[in-house]
Amino acid sequence: MALNRNIAYIDLTTGEVRTEPIPLEWRRKYIGGRGLDAYLLYTHCPPQADPLGPENVLLISAGLLVGTMASASARTHIMAKSPLTGILGSANMGGFFAPELRWAGFDHLVIRGQAERPVYLYIHNGEIEIRSAEKLWGSGVYDTQDLIRRELDDPEAQVLCIGQAGENLVRFANVMTGRKNAGGRTGMGAVMGAKRLKAVACRGTRSIAIRFPEEALEYNKQIIDQVVSTKVSQIMQRWGTGFIFGVTNTTGLVRCRNFQYNQLPNSEDIECENLDKVSIGLDGCFGCQVHCRHRYIIPEGPYAGTYAQGPEYTSQGAFGAEVGCRSLNTVLVGNHLVNDYGMDTLEVGSMMAWAMELFEKGILTEKDTAGLRLAWGDDEAVIELVRRIAFRRDIGDILAEGPLGAARRIGPQSLPYLIHVKGMSNLHSDERPTPALALNIAVSSRGADHLRGRPAIDLYNLPLPVLERVYRNPDGYTGPLTNSYSEYEGKPRMVQWQELVYMAVDSLGVCKYHTVFLSPNHPQFKEFARLIYLNTGLEFSEREIWDAAERCYTIERLFNLREGMTRRDDWLPDRYFDEPTRLGLPVARGKCIDREKFRAMLDEYYRLHGWDENGVPTPETLERLGIAALKPAA
């Protein structure tokens, strides 16, 4: 059955491995994937643990529907205390690893301790081995996977691993699988590096019995038709996520030169249409029909002829708008390097842009950068800086510490130029014209984030009946909604709703592009309930999935509070409030966030979650969610 997968507890210090079944009660309360990981992190990671110490717990999981007949059920989740922010660390990625983990017999890995020498885990049909990775240490992401498959003599083995950035404890190092599937944000690769865990390899041949196979197959066909019939899916099948850049840049919703401008003029070369010059087709994850990633060959320069995948919308910003570069080749090379080194493309781009603004202001000089001029639009400097960060060389060693760590080393005069929340940089979007999206990045449980609560459909100015169909269910919300993205009223509800629908899909192991993210017509709670029942036999109502998502999101909040987070951390950099946007269409030009209105939005957001005025879940909320035993910090 889809429910008879185990949880493994692995101690890298002692070499002890034990496995246990996952209690049905946990399925009912936390579902799986990210949701159950939140509970496991709260209960297994001691308070105030060193994120890079042996006491930190690394969690790797597959969601409840992964590997079943549910479409796009391929997501792997990784969680630990973050070495970047000191609070919740969480990452989610696609590919083929998570289905292989389930076919090998496991849904969750709980990894503690620290190996004396580099190791990797080999998981095969219920068995877990700890193997030497000393010959793998120093290898990039691509070579590591190839070397492990060669050692196992199994080309079908799926490998999750770190590159040199994780080994060097870059605090925003990624966990990677395949050519570009990135467990990005919050530095989960650095946690693996600190544990001297180079990789986890999986090979499984155990079947997953579907409770109602014929009905599940037929229903999934309906879901596929529902998803691929939408305009956004059809565009992504053609251009990938890169299409978003043309829209947001034209409007004036991107960060350019760190935060000085909100539009990159003359950027035609990095528009998605130019990918046709280098693309050799599109690829996708397990069980997905959208196929949203380009496969490409780098056309020129030192990396000419290199095969890679992507680039996503985020790389267009990281190696384009944020640093003032307009070369597609720079975007392609930068994207390739961060994937092979195993680094977060968003954090790399933001740290480089911040350093360039500091260089422009004279806060950093060539003495600080070992002679490297950090000039806007300097393609060679951008690529060189990527290498220096991954290998912690001179200025790269400072930037590898992430926003707050780097600012401590450079000095307090650098702080006003950081675009971060809770110690994690924002992507290249500029939310000054969009209060809902601004609230989303301020309150996200893992720092500035567009994947934990972003109501992207607010940008579409949809008819109110469409918004009501989405945002008034399944809990019967009766408060205000507005369909202008420059308004403040009703936006806290959009953010709260998106947080819970994303928690649900992350717990199921389904891709966010198969829920209400970029389209209001994609599946949500009603469809999730039907998918769970047909594939597993578990009966959930729409409201029960909502409650489970709220329970798990509240546990993430409790973890952050326990680690020292307060209401002050649910806030934006001053530049959002004090510097109006300069460029873009009239709807986006001359905009900044109103402090008082934003404070009122934050208050309403807390009320919707059942938290007090300081963002602490009330005793009544904890009792209602059945987690009263998990006390907030005193």
pLDDT more than 90, % of the chain: 98
pLDDT at position 576 is 98
Average pLDDT over residues 226-235: 96
Task: Report pLDDT digits (tens) over 570-614.
Answer: 999 999 999 999 999 999 999 999 999 999 999 999 999 999 999
Is-contact 320 267, C-beta < 8 A? yes
Residue 211 lies in a domain: no
Same domain? For 408 and 446 the reply is no
Question: Average pLDDT for residues 249-278, to the nearest whole number?
Answer: 96
Q: Indicate whether 206 pLDDT > 50.
A: yes
**Mean pLDDT (the chain, rounded):** 97
Helix, strand, coil distribution of the chain in percent, nearest 5:
45, 15, 45
Residue type present at position 516? V
Q: Where are the alpha helices (DSSP H) in 261-312?
A: none
Residues 419 and 468 in one domain: no
Same domain, 413 and 447: no
Give the span between the Cα atoms of 98 and 160, in whole angstroms: 9
Q: What percent of the chain has pLDDT over 70?
A: 99
Choosing from 152, 181, 203, the residue where a domain stops is: 203
pLDDT band of 313, cuts 50, 70, 90: very high
* Helix, strand or coil, per DSSP, at residue 417: helix
Quick one: 411 exposed, middle or buried, by C-beta within 10 A (0-12, 13-18, 19+)? exposed
Instruction: Count structural domains, the chain.
Output: 3
Q: Are residues 81 and 22 in the same domain?
A: yes
Q: How far apart are CA 82 and CA 212, in angstroms?
A: 40
CA proximity to 145, closest of 6, 342, 302: 342
Per-residue pLDDT band at 2 (split at 50, 70, 90): confident
Same domain, 266 and 290: yes
Domain-embedded: residue 220: no
What would the pLDDT profile of 358-390 be if each residue is shown by its tens digit?
A: 999 999 999 999 999 999 999 999 999 999 999
Query: Between 633 and 297, where is the model more confident?
Result: 297
CA distances from 155 to 127, 152, 158, 203, 206 (A): 19, 8, 8, 10, 18
- Distance CA(531)–CA(366), nearest Å, equals 57
Is the domain of 383 the same as that of 531? no
The per-residue b/e assignment along 170-198, b for 16 or more CB within 10 angstroms, e otherwise, is bbbbbbbbbbbbbbbbbbbbbbbbbbbbb
- Residue 199 located in a structural domain: yes
Helices (H), 362-484: 379-390, 395-399, 402-410, 435-443, 464-471
Per the structure, the complete domain to which residue 360 belongs is given by: 241-423
446 and 346 both lie in a single domain: no
Q: Report pLDDT for 3.
A: 85
CATH of the domain at 557: 1.10.599.10
* Closest by CA position to 182, among listed 92, 109, 242: 92
Residues in a beta bridge with 62: 76
Which pLDDT score, from 0 to 100, does residue 632 have? 63
Q: Is residue 121 part of a domain?
A: yes
618: which DSSP letter? P
Residue 462 lies in a domain: yes
φ, ψ of residue 60 to 5 degrees: the values are -130, 130
Q: What tens digit of pLDDT does each residue of 402-434 get?
A: 999 999 999 999 999 999 999 999 999 999 999
Domain end position, chosen among 423, 451, 473 = 423
User: Do 22 and 136 fall within a single domain?
Assistant: yes
Do 87 and 157 belong to one domain? yes
Question: Can you give the CATH number for the domain in which 280 is found?
Answer: 1.10.569.10
Domain boundary among the residues 203, 229, 263 is at 203
Domain match, 348 and 452 both: no
Q: Is the pLDDT of residue 625 over 80?
A: yes
Strand residue runs (E) in 82-233: 88-93, 106-112, 119-124, 127-132, 158-161, 175-177, 181-183, 197-203
CB-side neighbour CA atoms (13 Å) of 87? 24
| Residues 503 and 616 grouped into a single domain | yes
- pTM summary value: 0.97
Q: Quick one: pLDDT band at residue 4, thresholds 50, 70, 90?
A: confident
Query: For residues 278 and 256, what is the distance between their CA atoms, to the nearest angstrom?
Result: 25
Mean local confidence (pLDDT), 88-105: 98
**Nearest-angstrom CA–CA distance, 426 and 317:** 11
- Same structural domain, 182 and 246: no
SS3 assignment for 372-405 = CCCCCCCHHHHHHHHHHHHCCCCHHHHHCCHHHH
Question: Helix (H, G, I), strand (E, B), or coil: what is residue 161?
Answer: strand
Q: How confident is the model at residue 1 (pLDDT cuts 50, 70, 90)?
A: low
Is 315 part of a structural domain of the chain? yes
Nearest to 496 by CA among 602, 625, 616: 602
Residue 212 lies in a domain: no
What's the pLDDT score for residue 633?
54
Please, are residues 428 and 255 in contact by the beta-carbon 8 Å criterion? Answer: yes
Please tell me whether residue 257 adopts helix, strand or coil conformation.
coil
Q: Are strands 181-183 and 197-203 parallel, antiparallel or unpaired?
A: unpaired
**pLDDT computed for residue 454 by the predictor:** 97
216 lies in a domain?
no
pLDDT of 634 strictly over 80: no
Is the pLDDT confidence value at 5 over 70?
yes
